[in-house]
Amino acid sequence: MKKIRERVIKGIIFVGIFFILFGILSYILQPKNNDRASGMDQPTAYAILAEKENTIDTLVIGDSESYSSISPMQIWEEHGYTTYVCGTPAQRLYQSLDFLEKALETQKPKIVILEVNSVYRKYSIFSYVGFEVQERFPLFKYHNRWKSLTEDDFQKPIEYTWKNELKGFDFDRRVKSTKFSDYMRENKKSETLTGRNRYFLDEILQLCNDNDIKLVLMSAPSIKNWNYEKHAGVEAYARENKIEYIDMNLFIDEIGIDWVHDTRDKGDHVNFEGAQKVTHFVGNYLKNTGLLSSHKGDKNYDMWNDDLDKYKARINKK
């Protein structure tokens, strides 16, 4: 019995030491700031962590359709509302949920816009499990950072200070035209959501409801990614859950999208010219909700005017 007790004690001590070392290494390898130089993954989206607390009115989450289509600084200039786009390439819904959870740690948005191209993105359960492991144990996510560690990584506290004056928007003036196609022709078909995607969509909706946030499902203009069957599937979910769904692919003429001049990659995403039109449409929608008030003239939001100057300098640069 004595030998068994000793082995158990040694085992507990070994496991304890392992987890202590694991925690220390995770802390050392985790980026101490939210910029690319510090090794942060997707720094543009994570720059919301550096925004002043409780200053974001509208949070946008989704894949590349979100950050290509909506320019928060234009919304600020036209309406005085604060918006941030936490969009990342090929974002999956479990990642959208994670961005929402992280943003709610410091922000209290009144509206969350989910760009719904991701609701049909397929993924394996292993990709989700891998994501969860990396998020909870930075050692796995940032293990390659050992090559670039500095003295700060061993003693500096984690502090997010890097801000993005585009507020998550991806500025791109390239023009690669496409021919118009009747990709939104109405029919009786409907593309159903997978069980996994529906689960995470439910989780996003529940989190918004718990925090008294209006969730809006939105589709950005995209010939390559969208069609009426997908529209019908999302519309059915929105109707079932009594939430709004705005499909801008049904308002191409009203928005003024010209697929000859307003796309950067033959109808996959809009370019800057197209994004200006989409953003104007979204800004007017936000105004019509009656949920937001202009912050222009409020000294607590002076930094948005400074960022607007930087934004204009960026887009006007030849």
Q: Looking at the domain assignment, is residue 19 inside a domain? A: no
Query: 253-289 burial, b for 16+ CB within 10 Å, e for fewer?
Result: eebebebeebbbbebbbbbbbbbbbbbbbbbebbbee
Please check whether residue 152 lies inside any domain of the structure: no
pLDDT confidence of residue 257: 96
Q: Is residue 143 part of a domain?
A: no
Domain count, the chain: 1
For 45-82, the pLDDT digits (tens) are 999 999 999 999 999 999 999 999 999 999 999 999 99
Q: Which two tokens stand for residue 190?
A: 């409907």
Say which amino acid occupies 60: V
Sign of CA dihedral 23, 24, 29, 34: positive
Per cent of the chain over pLDDT 90 is: 70
Residue (of 230, 199, 202, 232) closest to 215 by Cα position:
202
- Phi/psi of residue 115, each to 5°? -75, 120
* Mean pLDDT value of segment 130-151: 58
The sign one gets for the Cα dihedral 315, 300, 287, 282 is positive
Domain that holds residue 310: 34-123+160-316
Look at residue 269 and tell me whether its pLDDT is greater than 50: yes
191 occurs within a structural domain? yes
Question: What is the pTM assigned to this prediction?
Answer: 0.86
* CB distance 134 to 244 below 8 Å: no
**Is 69 within the bounds of a domain?**
yes
Which pLDDT tens digit goes with each residue over 211-223? 999 999 999 999 9
In the predicted model, what is the mean pLDDT of residues 100-120? 97
Q: For residue 72, is it within any domain?
A: yes
In a domain, 227, yes or no: yes
Mean pLDDT of all residues in 159-168: 83
CATH number at residue 195: 3.40.50.1110
Is residue 112 situated within a structural domain?
Answer: yes
pLDDT band at 149 (very low <50, low <70, confident <90, very high): low
The phi and psi torsions of 217 (rounded to 5 degrees) equal -90, 135
Tokens representing residue 247 in the block? 């499909």
Mean pLDDT of the chain: 86
Tokens of 260: 């000859």
